[in-house]
Homo-oligomer: A and B are copies of this chain.
């Protein structure tokens, strides 16, 4: 037999009638008025916090919509609205018929969201990454400013060379705070099975969700020129990226240098829906 829960006529919210067992444990009802914020925003925040705290690790399945809505004590439509937002931010992934999952940093996602270099004729391809160096350093002024800390803060610096169709196209210098990545070694970087963002996520609980980039054109210095096999002084595209993790904290400063003789950095202004 099925029946509907009685509702509170004042707040029009389901009253707490407990069924056993709790179909979605660990999710508390949302306060009716969470700081004047719309309910779906409060639900979004609650979900985000569950992810940040590791209650929902990457790849985990969320409870189904009905149960989760009941646990939060909101309507399914409201829950869906919150989940919609997180899906749009690539923090959750929905699969019809399967469920809703915490997003993981797959190669495809990296390519789509964070790798914008393609050949001039439009061909897109996954780059072959080659580790050039791995060092413990102290941050310079630029990295420190981007990472909201002070110059001299201990960090790891990783240099990569990226090849497309066998030719070196991109040089990356990556700076990440040592405090966030305790125990990182060259071996772990070298032997990572997937992208470096996947490594951050799976090994250190750091999930990159977005980034700001500043692009400029510069002349290739001697080191870059050598790494990329071009004459020094050639105009190259410099991309300075600050990557932001789940909590909103900057976690990576990356300077990508791109040879744009046969490749471009592509950008889509306002995608069609």
Residues of A within 8 A of B (CB): 44, 85, 88-90, 113-114, 120, 209-219, 235-238, 240-241, 248, 258, 260, 263-273
Contact = CB atoms under 8 A, between A and B. Distances in A.
Contacts of A217: 217-218, 235-238, 258, 260
A210 B114 contact: no
Contacts of A273: 44, 85, 88-89
17 contacts: A90-B270, A113-B269, A113-B270, A114-B269, A120-B214, A210-B268, A210-B270, A211-B269, A213-B267, A215-B215, A215-B266, A217-B237, A217-B258, A218-B235, A219-B235, A235-B235, A267-B267
Nearest to A257: B217
| Residue among A44, A210, A267 having the largest count of chain B Cβ atoms under 10 Å | A267
A211 B272 CA distance: 10
A263 B235 CA distance: 16
Contacts of A215: 215, 237, 260, 264-267
A3 to B, nearest CB: 23
A241 to B, nearest CB: 8
Given A89-B270, A90-B270, A217-B237, 15 more contacts: A44-B273, A89-B273, A113-B269, A209-B270, A210-B268, A211-B270, A212-B267, A212-B268, A213-B266, A213-B267, A214-B264, A215-B267, A217-B236, A217-B238, A267-B267
Question: Which of A210, A235, A240: most chain B Cβ within 10 A?
Answer: A235
